[in-house]
Amino acid sequence: MAKKIKEPEPESSVKEKKVAVKKVAVKKTVTKKKETEVPQIVANKIYPSVLLYSRFSEFDISLFKAGKHYKLHEKFGAHVINHEGVIGTYFAVWAPNAHYVSVIGNFNYWDKGTHELFVRWDHSGIWEGFIPHVGNGEAYKYFIESNTGEKLEKADPFALRSEEPPRTASIVWDTWYEWKDSPWMEKRHLKNALNKPMSVYEVHFGSWARGLESPDQFLSYRDMAHKLVPYVKEMGFTHVEFMPLMEHPFYPSWGYQITGFFAATCRFGTPQDLMYLIEQFHENGIGVLLDWVPSHFPGDAHGLYNFDGSHLYEHADMRKGFHPDWKSYIFNYGRNEVKAFLISNAIFWLERFHIDGLRVDAVASMLYLDYSREEGEWVPNDFGGRENLEAIAFLKEFNEAVYVNFPDVQTIAEESTSFSGVSHPTYTGGLGFGQKWMMGWMNDTLRYFQKDPIYRKNHHSEVTFSTIYAFTENFMLPLSHDEVVHGKKSLIYKMPGDEWQQFANLRLLYSYMWTHPGTKLLFMGSEFAQTKEWDPQHSLDWHLLEYAPHQGIKKTVMALNKLYKEEPAMYERSFDGNGFEWIVNDDADNSVLVYARKGLNPKDDLIIALNLTPVPRLNYRFGVTRSGNWKEIFNSDELQYWGSGMKNNDQESEAKGSHWKANSIEVNVPPLGMVVFKAV
């Protein structure tokens, strides 16, 4: 039978039984049912193997049951404490359908009968207890016998550290760290605001670079602090985004199949090592975003699936609880305790690791009950629709909780459908995200740029269509890892033409992306035109930077980041239609685009002209937003970028009407190039 606490007692009144004895050998006795408690002799005193202790108040329990406890990581899991003069670890786990729960580990030779936990009296399903003399570094799991007799060994859902795969035990650890990034944290709201530049460098930690001596050797969190941080700073990105760094057993899942939601993967070091890396980014003025995966989890035996012999975290109806694409399991968003688990996890990373934003993975799969399902494989909602109302309510609650507690961070949705209001406030009916990936722009743009320029005039609308809906959401323009894997080819090899044209096309693509309204995201390796597809098992091909074309792409991205951060017209109105104006969008025959980007002050206006063919457009006239002298401040065709070197001198506007403007200028638009002008 499970040990039950008859009634609640305040912590101060809980006294373990202490019996003075002589120093004698204490033997473990075994009954037919199970092993009895094994007392521990310490300083001539006998202690039960597990002491009655709790970190939960009645208020904690009520919040947990209601799904409103957003700091469950302070209660659940393993916490090293001093209890009445004894150092040990308090364990707490949610297993409401368990008949018996114990802690097993190296400290008790993985004996399931030695350290049985107490089940609470309040029907919360929480098992807990204090085990003396267990401290940081101890490996452990929970042994769970379900009400149906199923015997399971589970990792701790709230573990702060795990063994390195393929081992699967949790490790007692803490997240104490003496942060030195207060200057960044105090001014973070200025870096993360929607009217500030956000240029994101997306990184898969295990394959950005490998050890010099061995291509199979990962760089540690601390190694990356001294290699990745200065590189991101040199490139001029404002933020770095890490693909999931939570513990995951299968490396080729890229981190998206998570078993340890609160544990930084130990492949690269300790949680404190990761904190040091984040701190170094902050000291260099760079924000850190983290991919977060509340959409699904794998079915590994030690993970969340079938946790206490029942569908505890996943939805019991597999038409809602199983993901056919990823062969994984979907959280039950209608269960209060599960919602509290997920929101607590988001708060944990923002609070303990000073993360500056969460990019939420696979939001589209959460929103629709029929996502990747055929007729008859899904269940309509209560109103007969396809929307997952429970997931929608969860996402709203998640965003509200994040922004109430951390108003200076960003939540970013990877959402690929036309679902309305993803980045609108919840009080207007939106989901409450800060930004949304602009997948339509990405798909249309890549499809257009892959076409031979001779045919582009027939597809002109594909490159102009995005501005029709560009201001319906707070969009981030992504060229992510998904576009350079699984046979899709690298970005440079998506481009048509000979070698010069391929590199010119890629420079033009980036130039268009950086001057288009919205924030930016670029996957690692794309900034120097990695030629092969991304391979998570190997380092990027850094040797390519020995060659001028690749150096040219790198310099182009650096220059675009500099332009983006220095010109207010590029970011002050990124999500406001008043910050963008078409000047030429109908010249399909010449495949030329001209548009203005506008800041809050008219003197900051920029005029951008793109030539999407390899034929130079000489003496091309277009209207400008004001009279005066216009200076070329960026040209993607410069020799330093491996271009042809076609440039423009300063242009004095003429009082010649053009494109509904009273004043105009006449310039040369280089082949497969973009030029940017500013009035001076």
Percent with pLDDT over 90 in the chain: 92
Look up 361 and say whether it is catalytic. Answer: yes
pLDDT at 5 (0 to 100):
45
Going by C-beta distance under 8 Å and a sequence separation of 6 or more, which residues neighbour residue 82?
Answer: none
pLDDT at 315 (0 to 100):
96
pLDDT at 606 (0 to 100):
98
Query: Between 150 and 5, whose confidence is greater?
Result: 150
Annotated catalytic residue: which of 273, 314, 414, 473?
414
pTM above 0.75, yes or no: yes
Per residue in 447-504, pLDDT tens? Answer: 999 999 999 999 999 999 999 999 999 999 999 999 999 999 999 999 999 999 999 9
Q: Is the pLDDT of residue 651 over 50?
A: yes
Q: Per mean pLDDT, which range of 54-63, 70-79, 371-380 is the poorest?
A: 371-380
Q: Per mean pLDDT, which range of 39-48, 63-72, 405-414, 610-619 is the poorest?
A: 39-48
- For the chain, what are the domain ranges? 58-172, 580-679
Distance CA 468, CA 401 (A): 32
Per residue in 401-417, pLDDT tens? Answer: 999 999 999 999 999 99
Q: Is the pLDDT of residue 429 over 50?
A: yes
Q: Is the pLDDT of residue 45 over 50?
A: no
Q: Is the pLDDT of residue 164 over 80?
A: yes
- Verify cis geometry, omega within 30 degrees of 0, for the bond prior to 39: no
CB atoms within 10 A of CB 668: 20
pLDDT at 48 (0 to 100):
66
Superfamily, domain 580-679:
Golgi alpha-mannosidase II (2.60.40.1180)
Per residue in 368-400, pLDDT tens? Answer: 999 999 999 999 999 999 999 999 999 999 999
Q: Residue 258 in 3-state DSSP?
A: coil
φ and ψ at 469, to 5 degrees? -120, 10
DSSP 469-512: HTTSS-EEEEE-GGGGSTTS--HHHHS-SSHHHHHHHHHHHHHH
Q: Residue 450 in 3-state DSSP?
A: coil
Look up 390 and say whether it is catalytic. Answer: no
* Average pLDDT, integer, range 259-271: 98
Query: 264 with 255: CB under 8 angstroms?
Result: no
pLDDT at 540 (0 to 100):
97
* Closest listed residue to residue 15, CA positions, set 130, 123, 134, 133: 130
φ and ψ at 303, to 5 degrees? -90, -155
For the chain, the average pLDDT equals 93
pLDDT at 215 (0 to 100):
80
Q: Is the pLDDT of residue 541 over 90?
A: yes
Going by C-beta distance under 8 Å and a sequence separation of 6 or more, which residues neighbour residue 453?
Answer: 496, 497, 501, 591, 612, 613, 614, 672
pLDDT band per the 50, 70, 90 thresholds, residue 18: very low
Residue 117: enclosing H or E segment and its boundaries?
Answer: none
Annotated catalytic residue: which of 138, 241, 361, 637?
361
Q: Is the pLDDT of residue 24 over 60?
A: no
pLDDT at 211 (0 to 100):
86
Residue 177: enclosing H or E segment and its boundaries?
Answer: none
- CATH for 58-172 is 2.60.40.10
Is it true that 58-172 and 580-679 share their CATH fold?
yes
Query: Between 273 and 12, whose confidence is greater?
Result: 273
Query: What does DSSP say about strands 86-94 and 45-47: parallel, antiparallel, or unpaired?
Result: unpaired
